[in-house]
Amino acid sequence: MNAQTQTYPETLPAEFANGHTAWTSPSNIALVKYWGKYDNQIPANPSISITLSACHTKTEMEWSAAENGPEVEFYFEGKANEAFGNKIKKFLESQLPQRPYLSGMRFRLGSENTFPHSAGIASSASGMSAFCMCLVEMERRVFGLHTDDASFYREASVLSRLASGSASRSVYGGLVSWGAIDALPETSDLFASKYEGQVHPDFQNLQDSIIICDRGEKSVSSRAGHGLMKTNPYATRRFEHARENMDALLQAIGEGDFNRFAELVENEALTLHGMMMMSYPWFILMKPKTLELLDIMKQYREQHGIRMCFTLDAGPNIHLIYPESEKEKVHTFLNNEIAKHLPGNSIIFDKEGNGPVKLK
Ligand code: PMV
C-alpha cells in the first residue's frame, strides 16, 4: 500500500490495547543541505547526508487506551519533560485525519541521547526518527501493516519527515538522500532513500569528528530558519544551486574525487550560513571559536595535505568529514592542534552508521 493512501482503523484491537517497544535512531549530518520548504514538509531542494553512529537517541514507548487522546507523557533522560511531550502531542494531533485511532491512545515515552542535549548537535533528527520507528513498529504489530521491511522503513521515513524534515534521512544507514533527484528515479520529496549510486571505496565508512565550539541553545529554530527562505532574495537561486551541488557531489563520490567533494561540502555549509546572514532578520550562527578553528584547520590541511573537510549544521559546531584511511592523521591533528583550544570532552569521534536498531 502506498504510504500516502494508507488509512488506519478507528481503534486498536482489544488484545493489543497495551504494549511496549523501543528503538534507537541516529543523528545525521547533511552534505547537501535542506534549507527551505513548502507546505506539508516538502523540501525546496534534495539533500544528502551521512547517518551517524555514536550520536543517537534511544526511545522507549508504552501505549495504552485513553478517552481523549492522543495523550503523551514524556521523560527525557529520566525527568518529565513537558515541552518535548507537547511537541510529540502536537505532531500526533496533526496525524489524526489519517490515523483516527490515535484519539483513543495514551503514550508514555522515555528518551535519552548518547550526546549532550546542550551540545548543539541536531537532536530532532534522531529524537523524532526514534519516536517514529516506535510508532510504525506499533502499527505493524497492532494492525498487521507495513509488514515487509521496504514499506516499514518507507513509512517510518514519511512520518519522520512530517515530524522534522531531516529526521526522514535517519531511518536508513550510510549515505541517504531525501527529495526528488532527476538522475535517481526512486527518490521522492515524500521520503528518504538509501543512496544506491556508485560509492568509491574512499567514501565508504566516512568519518565525522564533531568539534563542539559552543554548547549554547540554537539562536534560531529550524522552523523559523526554513521560514526565512520564503523572503530571502537569493532563495530561488539557492535551490537551483543545491541541485547543481548534488549532481556534482554524487559524481565526486562515484569517482573518489575527495578534493571536489571537499569543495562542494564546504560550499554547502557556508551557503547555508550565508543564506541566514542574508535573511530578514539576519542570523550569524557561527561563533568566534568556529572561525578560529576553521582557520587552523584550513592552514593545517594546506601544510599537511590531509584529506579532510568541514561542514556545519544550523549552528556553530564543526563536523570534520574524512575518509577512514585518514583517521590516524586527523585524530593527531584534532588531539594536538584543536583540543587545546576547547574545554575537555569537546570532540565527539563519530562515523557513518547503519541506521535505527530495534531493542529487545
Ligand atoms: O529537519 P530540520 O527542519 O530541523 O532542518 C534541518 C536543516 C539542516 O540541518 C540545517 C540541514 C539538513 O539538511 O539537515
Residue 339's domain is classified under what CATH number?
3.30.70.890
Helical (H) or strand (E) element with 209 = strand 207-211
Q: How far away, in angstroms, is 335 Cα from ligand 1 center? A: 29
What gap in Å lies between CA 321 and CA 117, rounded to an integer?
22
Q: Which position has the grid cell 574512499? A: 202
Considering the domain architecture, whether residues 165 and 214 belong to the same structural domain is answered as no
> Which domain-ending residue is among 146, 178, 197?
197
What gap in Å lies between CA 300 and CA 333, rounded to an integer?
8
pLDDT of residue 1: 41
Half-sphere exposure of 27 (CA within 13 A, CB side): 23
Q: pLDDT class for 288, splitting at 50, 70, 90?
A: very high
Residue 7 domain flag: no
Task: Tell me what the mean pLDDT of segment 246-268 comes to.
Answer: 98
Considering the domain architecture, whether residues 167 and 219 belong to the same structural domain is answered as no
Residue 358 domain flag: no
Q: How far is CA 69 from the centre of its chain?
A: 28
Distances (CA, A) of 277 to 75, 197, 222, 283, 315: 36, 34, 15, 5, 13
Residue 8 domain flag: no
Q: How far away, in angstroms, is 154 Cα from ligand 1 center? A: 19
Amino acid at the residue 228 = L
Helical (H) or strand (E) element with 109 = strand 105-113
Considering the domain architecture, whether residues 170 and 277 belong to the same structural domain is answered as no
- Residues written for the chain: 360
**Which domain does 316 fall in, by range?**
206-351
Residue 301: count of CB within 10 angstroms of its CB = 17
Helical (H) or strand (E) element with 299 = helix 288-304
Kindly tell me if the per-residue pLDDT of 23 is higher than 70.
yes
Q: Which residues, judged by CB distance below 6 Å to any ligand atom, belong to the binding site of ligand 1?
A: 30, 33-35, 47, 122, 124, 164-166, 222, 272, 313-314
pLDDT of residue 120: 61
> Which domain-ending residue is among 197, 227, 256?
197
- Choose which residue among 222, 239, 275 to substitute to test ligand 1 binding: the one with the highest number of ligand atoms within 8 A of its C-beta: 222
Q: pLDDT class for 221, splitting at 50, 70, 90?
A: confident
